Structure 1
Amino acid sequence: MYFSDLGIIALILALGFALYTVIASILGAMRSAPPLVASAKRSLLAVTFFLLLASAALVISFLRHDFGVNYVAEHSSLSMAWYFVTAAFYGGQEGSLLYWALVLSLFSALFVVTSKRAPSAFVPYVMATLMGIESFFLLMLATLSNPFVRSAVAPKDGAGLNPLLMDPGMLVHPPMLLMGYMSFSLPFAFAVAALITGRLNAEWLRSIRRWMLAAWTLQTAGLLLGAWWAYHVLGWGGYWGWDPVENAALLPWLTATAFLHSTMVQERRGMLKVWNLFLVIASFALSIFGTFEVRSGLISSVHSFAYSDIGAYFFGFLAVVLLFSSALFFFRLPALRAEQEFDSVVSREGVFLLNNLLLVGMTFAILWGTLFPLISASFRGQTMTMGPPFYNQVVAPMIVLLVLAMGIGPLLAWRRTSLTALWRNISTPAILAALCALVLPVLGITDVAANIGFTVCTFTAGAILYEIWRGARVRHRHGESYPRAVYMLFQRYRQRYGGYIVHLGLVFLVAGIIGSHYFQQQQDATLKPGQDMNVAGYRLTYLGNIDEKDSDKETISAQVQIWRDGKLQSYVYPGRVIYSNYPDQPTSVIEIKTFVATDVYVYLADWQGAAQATIRVFINPLVPFVWWGGLLMILGGILCWWPTRRRLATAVRPRTVVEKESVKEKPEQVADGGVIA
């Protein structure tokens, strides 16, 4: 008996238990039968066990080099290192679907273990929804996309992994992004449970928040790792190319970000109930759309798998999700009326609404650009694509407005804020922004769009740091040192101050995008040993090529020196790797050296023996800000998600700037500081 046989049996059993969980959960809820619900919980855990067993069977098949399994033969070879052999588990369509289903089962099991924290009426419907999704994936795995299918004759060696995936980024980026896609299932399941039970008050928002924060953080990490992988592997000097699959991964992140802001308005004012449910459903639907897009082959992308029939089934599943959730949504629409109305545009909820409109506007623009090839082919008979200029022109202004709103929002009170109080609160960050606008031309930065972007980033960073300083000063006045005061702020009010960290990270990220987009410099030169090229104050000296041959690959590296101000800064060895299994797909070895906040990006474009090479150099200012900002966003997301200890009744509560002013004007306008994520 092969391990692949065990894997097939495990998939079939997992499918059976998933279907039973759906039925038992629904019947248990409808009949108010706790034993049935308990049975459904145990059945769900059985699904997790069998998917772990199936996944282990596939990994063992890879490690044993069982090339009789078609999937193993197509994505691994004898010469691959064991960690790449293991990572090949999710290197193709079948394995990635199994990984998706496995992680969904693990998250579902985590929900069952922690279900005492959720409203009891929600639990069976959440389980039924999760296992309904799981059943679809298991049905695909057991039939159309089975990773355990065997061939009649096993080859002596496999084809090996795609050379572009033979990189450490392969070990972290795909599983993190797939986990991000999957994690939107949990908030969606809570939304379905709330719609079915009719319990649409703030209770379901409290239940869903931590799951949505976890999904948002995972998707943020997946996007950041994807950008990092592209930057270090592909050799084009950038980290985001507006590829359709990249766009699809960004879409649910945008709607989830909008939801995390608008939930505060519903909890505080009883408004935006319809909007919040729409955003949860949209986030899950867009995650399924992203999974469908990679597997349908309908939209051309360097990330897509080859066309397969499974794409049509994913489209059908997406249609069922939209029809089912829309029917529930409209059925409960009368119960979703707002409890209050907006009092003033100059208020915290007004800025949150603007924030949401910008995020959804970006979502629509990116979705439109992604689907435009299909739309143009259907109506005009020719395929037309939207390139990066379209996205940059449409999305960039909205990002700048979003960053500005992030800075103003925390400085406003709920309901309304007087213009006098508003100016008093924003004066300090406004002065910092004005100084930035004056200094930038002196530094030689004269591009109007870049100056506006940097000025807005300065304003928002100043507003965030000013708020943190104000909170620390309140605690300092009660006897705490400033370091202790800052620590206690983050310890006791993680959602608010974790949100500030997220915002600060986004400011860094946007500043990095502006710097690298507007001020990147590129130069190519064909050099012989001893010759130089000069780019933006850096001198690169080419010394010759090094050719190294192994059993499964050949590596050609150019030896280059980097000089700055007459001093040798570093040796770099940009190269190309040619794998014997893929001789027509040489991969790049990119050399990136960071000097303060500027990357010197060196790429071997071409070579001739040991005596000549074409070197391509990019000078990328502020790209490190992208990675620092992304890490801050992930850290802030974890802080928001991390459970807080129960507050002491005598705890010092630091008020924000706007709270200080609001107390003077009208007590009921005091802001309470929610999740600013």
Structure 2
Amino acid sequence: MAAFGAFALLIALVLAAYNLVAGGVALRLLAVGGRARIAPERLAETARRAGIAGFFAIMAAAFALVWSVFHNDFTIEYIVEHSNRALPAAYKFAALWSGQEGSLLLWASLLAIYGFVLRVRHHSDVKLHAYAGTILAGVQVFFLLLLNFAAPPFSGVRGGIAPPDGNGLNPLLQYPEMVIHPPMLYLGYVGFSVPFAFALGALMMRYPGEKWIHITRRWTMATWMFLTIGIFLGMHWAYAVLGWGGYWGWDPVENASLMPWLTGTAFLHSVMMQEKRGMMKSWNVWLIFATFLLTLLGTLLTRAGLVSSVHAFAQSSIGDWFVGFMVIVLAVCLFTYILQRDHLKSEHQMESLVSRESSFLFNNLVLLAACFTILWGTLFPVLSEYFEGTKKTVAGAYYSHVAIPIGVFLLFLTGVGPLLAWRASSFKSLRKNFVLPGIAFLATVVVCIAAGLKPWADEGIFYSTMTFALGVAVATAICSEFLRGAGVLHRQTGKNFAASTVLLVRRSTRRYGGYIVHLGLVVIFIGFAGYAFNRSAEKEMAVGSKMEIGPYTLVNLGNTEESNANYDTEFSQLDVFENGKKILDQPMSPEKRVYLVNGQPQTMVANHSTLRWDLYVVYEGKNPDTGLPIIKAFLNPLVTWIWIGLVVVVFGTLVALVPSLSPVRAVVAVPSSTGPLPGAAAVRATGGGN
């Protein structure tokens, strides 16, 4: 199977190279015109079919690697390093992305899937799809070069003698979410290749209008959704596995996933200005160019070992390949932009600072400022080592000092944007739209102070109070939009309020799906705001010992050691009482595992989660002097709302992906004796029936 997989990758490289070269030649012939020995249309079609065939070749290689993992083929070095016989079946899938070679194959496989869909759905605009398919082929050639020469996944074991067992999967990856998190993250990373290819192709061919944005809108939204899910699954994994009581530590690999999310979010907002007003065309192409380059940087940081990170599961020397490819991509983008920049002139200018255009512009500037801040902090250790010979790290306080106020300001813009009109907003409309959110903001501040918060005494509490108040204000503004629109439809159609709300959303899924996404982000920010109120306690706990934290009392029922074929484990069993009353039927059991095949430890957190807070308990091991287990407990307010907010964001994105309800056209019969009517012969029905 190893020989089959290696051959499939070689065939895939040949097909991708043909797709790139033949597609490029065909497009050049079409651009210059004139007669040629081979019709450019036929050459372009052969390139498209080569891309489709390449999909099957890459899928065959991926199947070969997974098959080899499940069949414990330890003649392959990669499987020796990342699997073993006792590894549970679900985690054998995770072996595909636990190492560098497998993760690159996953990248190429997902790109092949996206490319396959693009190439079989090319009928809407054949030439633009041909440009995009050729550009994707160029990206695919790079990854297949890596897989064939720099990081081949089917290399034979060193010495030629297969060991009886492998070294096993990294213990940190042996958690259910890690079967989902990396593929979701990579679906986001790889997916941004598609809007990048369309944007670069449209610029190369001086594509008229904004049709390329309409074609790629759903690609971009789906990709953004996958990346969002991947980021939050990573946060939840860090929260549940690493045992430090938090979900975001400004780790370089965490930052690497956040940066393309920020620029991708800016792009999704900015393209609306191009669609509505023909503005910010240059911004948009550079936003998507930057997003694609940041996905490559994220893959580089994760897989090339440039930075130290608990998330960097593969270390290697392929950094030079990635840097070289990123330089080529940047050079192509810059050359094309300079050559075609006159095609990107804005059709209108900003007319007022109090307008929806200005809110989008501020939104873009803030998102880009956040991205640059994170990029600088992430690359600072690399740059300091290169220029000074000493690697200097950036503390989390650097990011928090900048990111928290930026986040609060973004929350403010989230509520302001939908309340402003295009071009300019009148004072009357501002007063009408901002009264309720303003009242909600002030009322929330008063309630927070009455509840005992002192925002003037502590910076963290100040920002949390502002987040609570702005969150309520934004939610009020969003709900007002739904209520206003549903009320109009209720009066027009006579439907009940719930049916009117559904009809309202179906008529403009993109708009109201976006509102739902904004509402989900509000919920997430509320969850983030709870971080300022975290508490913790730590104690050595013999059997019968008690530890108090907040309203909870933990009582140690006993300490246990167990073993199985995969790992040894130590854990404590803790009864939980709230205000003197036992609240759990089963005791909490935080544990510490040590995996037999490689001796690596892993923390398994016990977490009792409510809407108010999480009781988060960690078994930190035994004190070597006393032999007693050390238990650390955290009380983390509002964390559950982060995960609820993610569900709302995903739901809103799915709503926005659904096509809006098409208006019904009713043909009006006109008697021939009356002659033609001066008006239209069709009446557009705005509802779905009265």
Please report the TM-score for the alignment, with normalisation by the length of structure 2: 0.91
Tell me, yes or no, if structure 1 residue 166 matches structure 2 residue 184.
no
For structure 1, which segment, 548-557 or 366-375, has the greater mean C-alpha deviation from structure 2 after superposition? 548-557
Answer yes or no: is the 8 Å Cα contact 1:601–1:618 preserved in 2.
yes
Tell me, yes or no, if structure 1 residue 83 matches structure 2 residue 90.
yes
Distance in 2, matches of 1:422 and 1:533, equals 54
Tell me, yes or no, if structure 1 residue 257 matches structure 2 residue 271.
no
Tell me, yes or no, if structure 1 residue 66 matches structure 2 residue 80.
no
* SS in structure 1 at match of 2:571: strand
For structure 1, which segment, 268-277 or 485-494, has the greater mean C-alpha deviation from structure 2 after superposition? 485-494
Which structure: larger Rg? 2
Q: 1:103 aligns with which of 105, 110, 126?
A: 110
Q: 2:318 aligns with which of 310, 315, 318?
A: 310
Tell me the residue number matched to 1:634: 650
Distance in 1, matches of 2:419 and 2:665, equals 26
Letter in 1 for 2:399: Y
Deviation string, structure 1 residues 263-318 (Cα, Å, up to 9, x no partner): 11111111101100110100000000111112332222222245422111011001
Distance in 2, matches of 1:386 and 1:648, equals 58
* SS in structure 2 at match of 1:451: helix
Distance in 2, matches of 1:375 and 1:454, equals 38
Deviation string, structure 1 residues 137-184 (Cα, Å, up to 9, x no partner): 001101110110012100000000011111111110111111211111
- Give the alignment of 1:516-665 within 5 angstroms: 517-570=531-584, 571-583=587-599, 585-607=600-622, 612-649=628-665
Letter in 1 for 2:120: V
Deviation string, structure 1 residues 414-450 (Cα, Å, up to 9, x no partner): 1111223202111011111111000001112223222
Tell me the residue number matched to 2:183: 175
For structure 1, which segment, 262-271 or 279-288, has the greater mean C-alpha deviation from structure 2 after superposition? 262-271
Tell me the residue number matched to 1:140: 146
Answer yes or no: is the 8 Å Cα contact 2:100–2:316 preserved in 1.
no
Distance in 2, matches of 1:234 and 1:407, equals 35
Answer yes or no: is the 8 Å Cα contact 2:509–2:655 preserved in 1.
yes
Tell me, yes or no, if structure 1 residue 449 matches structure 2 residue 457.
no
> How many Å apart are 1:372 and its aligned residue?
1.1
Tell me the residue number matched to 1:428: 436
- Give the alignment of 1:54-453 within 5 angstroms: 54-117=61-124, 119-151=125-157, 152-446=160-454, 447-453=461-467
Tell me the residue number matched to 1:507: 522
Distance in 2, matches of 1:398 and 1:642, equals 31
Tell me the residue number matched to 1:664: none
Deviation string, structure 1 residues 227-249 (Cα, Å, up to 9, x no partner): 11111111011111100011011
Distance in 1, matches of 2:659 and 2:9, equals 35
* SS in structure 1 at match of 2:75: coil
Deviation string, structure 1 residues 24-82 (Cα, Å, up to 9, x no partner): 22222233432222212211111000011111111111111000100011111111111
Distance in 2, matches of 1:306 and 1:50, equals 25
> How many Å apart are 1:85 and its aligned residue?
1.5
Answer yes or no: is the 8 Å Cα contact 2:115–2:136 preserved in 1.
yes
CA 552–267 in structure 1, closer or farther in 2 if over 3 Å, else same: closer
> How many Å apart are 1:378 and its aligned residue?
3.5
Deviation string, structure 1 residues 310-340 (Cα, Å, up to 9, x no partner): 1110110011011111110111112211111
Distance in 1, matches of 2:3 and 2:387, equals 48
Letter in 1 for 2:510: Q
> How many Å apart are 1:488 and its aligned residue?
1.3
Distance in 2, matches of 1:378 and 1:421, equals 55
RMSD of Structure 2 on Structure 1 (CA):
1.5
Distance in 1, matches of 2:371 and 2:123, equals 35
> How many Å apart are 1:649 and its aligned residue?
4.6
Answer yes or no: is the 8 Å Cα contact 1:200–1:336 preserved in 2.
no
Q: 2:26 aligns with which of 19, 28, 32?
A: 28
Tell me the residue number matched to 2:12: 14
Tell me the residue number matched to 2:670: none
For structure 1, which segment, 254-263 or 604-613, has the greater mean C-alpha deviation from structure 2 after superposition? 604-613
Answer yes or no: is the 8 Å Cα contact 1:163–1:582 preserved in 2.
no
* SS in structure 2 at match of 1:582: coil
Q: 2:513 aligns with which of 474, 498, 504?
A: 498
CA 275–592 in structure 1, closer or farther in 2 if over 3 Å, else same: same
Distance in 2, matches of 1:306 and 1:562, equals 40
Letter in 1 for 2:267: F
Please report the TM-score for the alignment, with normalisation by the length of structure 1: 0.93
Deviation string, structure 1 residues 106-127 (Cα, Å, up to 9, x no partner): 110001121123x222121111
> How many Å apart are 1:608 and its aligned residue?
5.9
* SS in structure 1 at match of 2:127: coil
* SS in structure 2 at match of 1:540: strand
Distance in 2, matches of 1:48 and 1:642, equals 27
* SS in structure 2 at match of 1:522: strand
Number of aligned residues: 645
> How many Å apart are 1:644 and its aligned residue?
3.5
Deviation string, structure 1 residues 197-240 (Cα, Å, up to 9, x no partner): 01152122112211111111111111011111111111011111
For structure 1, which segment, 441-450 or 357-366, has the greater mean C-alpha deviation from structure 2 after superposition? 441-450
Letter in 1 for 2:656: C
Distance in 2, matches of 1:493 and 1:252, equals 27
Tell me the residue number matched to 2:54: 47
Distance in 2, matches of 1:378 and 1:93, equals 24
For structure 1, which segment, 293-302 or 604-613, has the greater mean C-alpha deviation from structure 2 after superposition? 604-613
Unaligned runs of 5+ in 2: 31-39, 455-460, 667-690
> How many Å apart are 1:536 and its aligned residue?
1.1
CA 87–380 in structure 1, closer or farther in 2 if over 3 Å, else same: closer
* SS in structure 1 at match of 2:117: helix
Letter in 2 for 1:104: L
Answer yes or no: is the 8 Å Cα contact 1:296–1:312 preserved in 2.
no
Unaligned runs of 5+ in 1: 651-677
* SS in structure 2 at match of 1:122: helix
> How many Å apart are 1:499 and its aligned residue?
0.3
Answer yes or no: is the 8 Å Cα contact 1:251–1:366 preserved in 2.
yes
Letter in 2 for 1:55: A
Answer yes or no: is the 8 Å Cα contact 2:200–2:285 preserved in 1.
no
Letter in 2 for 1:466: S
Distance in 2, matches of 1:407 and 1:90, equals 39
Distance in 2, matches of 1:419 and 1:525, equals 60
Answer yes or no: is the 8 Å Cα contact 1:52–1:102 preserved in 2.
yes
Answer yes or no: is the 8 Å Cα contact 1:97–1:141 preserved in 2.
yes
Distance in 1, matches of 2:26 and 2:565, equals 61
Letter in 2 for 1:542: N
CA 295–594 in structure 1, closer or farther in 2 if over 3 Å, else same: closer
Distance in 1, matches of 2:509 and 2:301, equals 37
Distance in 2, matches of 1:114 and 1:147, equals 31
